[in-house]
Amino acid sequence: MEQNRQGLRASAKQKRELGREIASHRVRAGLKQEELGALVGRSQDWISRVERGALVLSVFEYIRLARILRISIEVVERIADTPS
């Protein structure tokens, strides 16, 4: 993770990797982007940006998505430990 004035921040590579995990789990769950968006109170476009790694999410948003898609904390930790 990169260090900035506000603290730790995910690199572009880490955001893309987490987005790919979210997309993969969504597809395995049989959900369309629009359906996942409805479950988290967001639009299909928002889900698309998350999956592309184009959006910075709060830890709470990641936790909410991870719970819905049953993404383990180990997956998130592995991505966080990946060099930028």
User: HSE of 16 in the Cβ direction (CA atoms, 13 Å)?
Assistant: 4
User: Phi and psi at residue 8, in whole multiples of 5°?
Assistant: -80, 145
Q: Which residue blocks in 4-72 are alpha helix, DSSP H?
A: 12-28, 33-40, 44-52, 59-69
pTM: 0.83
Q: What is the pLDDT of residues 62-79, one digit of tens each?
A: 889 999 999 998 888 888
* Residue-range definition of the domain harbouring residue 8: 2-81
As averages over each run of 10 residues, the pLDDT of the chain (84 residues) reads: 52 90 96 97 96 89 92 86 75
Q: Is the dihedral of CA 73, 74, 79, 80 positive or negative?
A: positive
- CATH number of the domain residue 75 falls in: 1.10.260.40
**Separation between Cα atoms, residue 35 and residue 42, nearest integer Å:** 10
The total domain count for the chain is: 1
